[in-house]
Structure formats: structure tokens, C-alpha cells
Amino acid sequence: MGLEARLPDGILLTSVEKFIGWARAGSLWPATFGLACCAIEMMATGAAHYDLARFGMEVFRASPRQADLMIVAGRVSQKMAPIVRTLYDQMPEPKWAIAMGVCASTGGMFNNYAIVQGVDHIIPVDMYVPGCPPRPEMLMDGILKLHEKIRAEQFVPRPRKGESMEDFRRRSGWQGPQPDDIAAMPQPGGLHQVLGSGQVRA
């Protein structure tokens, strides 16, 4: 459960959002987790030459319960799919996932019954990195783009500058006040009255 799940509905904390987005983006801890050849490139990315420590990411965690980023590095076999899903479910919120390479993103050249045709069939993916295998620079580019996305995340969806309400509804799924919300609002003529005794009557 992320911090945003504990906030009361309708509270806008733009500066807090920016600060938390900055802190989250600067302290992603990836799960130690590789499936195939792409994992070798992921390991190289974490080694000294490329130095993920620059982004606060050198701590690859051996337990999903201590990680908030899953880098799916390699093809996902049908046999492995439930395990990937279990590991993802064991990661605490908020969490993000990168599909590294064409196999994790789409199944790639393994267009057959044994390989899941894209890991987004089993977990939500935040960033796709193309290539076979993607070089460490490409993975780092995907990581930096994910950082930008995390920094821009909003606790409460709001229209972007210049965005029409129609586009905003389509993007965020926001439907506007629902009948129950309207029924719960104070009605005209039903304002609270303060009685002489100091009691409040609806």
C-alpha cells in the first residue's frame, strides 16, 4: 500500500507529490531476477562500468519484499509465468516493472506455445526496452525514462495543461461525481443549524 492510499479523497498535495516522486525515483531497488540472455546485460548494467549507483539503484534485492522494481530480463516461459506473477505480487506497493528486450515485451522470435507473448499478459508493465539483447545503455535509457514517469506521477489524476476534459477522462478513467457522491453532499436548504443549546442539527 503506497502513501497515496492513506490520503483522504480529494486532497491535493502537489508539492508533496513532487517531493515523493523525486524520492521514489532516486531510490528504486530492483529485484534480483533474470530469466534468460538479457539478464547478462542487466548484470553488466549493475556492474562498475555502468554504475547504477549513480541513480540510487545499486541495491539489487534478493527478496521481492524489499524491491520496488522488477526488470523482466528475458523470455518468460509458460512454466515460469506463475512464478513471475507470484514474485510481482510479493513486492510492496508502489512498484514498477520494466520489460527488457523483445522477448519479455512481445515474445520476440519465440512465437510459440511455450513462451508468454509479452510479460504484460501477467503483470502490468511501465516501460518497454527494445533490442535483442538491449545493451546496458538501452536499459539505462529505459530506467531514466521510468524515473521521469515516476517523478510525474500524481496521487489524484488531474487534467494536464491544455488537455480537454474528454482526453482527461479517456486517459485517467475519471468519470466525475457519481450519484452516491452527490447524495452525500450537503443539499440546499439542508444546511446545518446551530441550536441555542450549542448542538448542531442537520
Return the number of the residue (21 or 136) whose C-beta is nearest ligand SF4. Answer: 136
Triad 133, 137, 139: Cα angle to 5°: 60
Write down the least CB distance from residue 104 to ligand SF4, Å.
7
Alpha carbon separation from 79 to 24, 101, 124 (Å, rounded): 33, 19, 19
Return the number of the residue (133 or 136) whose C-beta is nearest ligand SF4. Answer: 133
Write down the least CB distance from residue 128 to ligand SF4, Å.
12
Return the number of the residue (24 or 75) whose C-beta is nearest ligand SF4. Answer: 75
Alpha carbon separation from 40 to 15, 108, 180 (Å, rounded): 39, 18, 53
Q: What's the start-to-end Cα distance of the chain, in Å?
A: 36
Return the number of the residue (140 or 150) whose C-beta is nearest ligand SF4. Answer: 140
Write down the least CB distance from residue 40 to ligand SF4, Å.
8
Q: Which residues of this protein are in contact with ligand SF4, per CB under 6 A? A: 36-38, 74-75, 101-103, 108, 132-133
Write down the least CB distance from residue 144 to ligand SF4, Å.
20
Inter-residue contact 104 to 38 (CB < 8 Å): yes
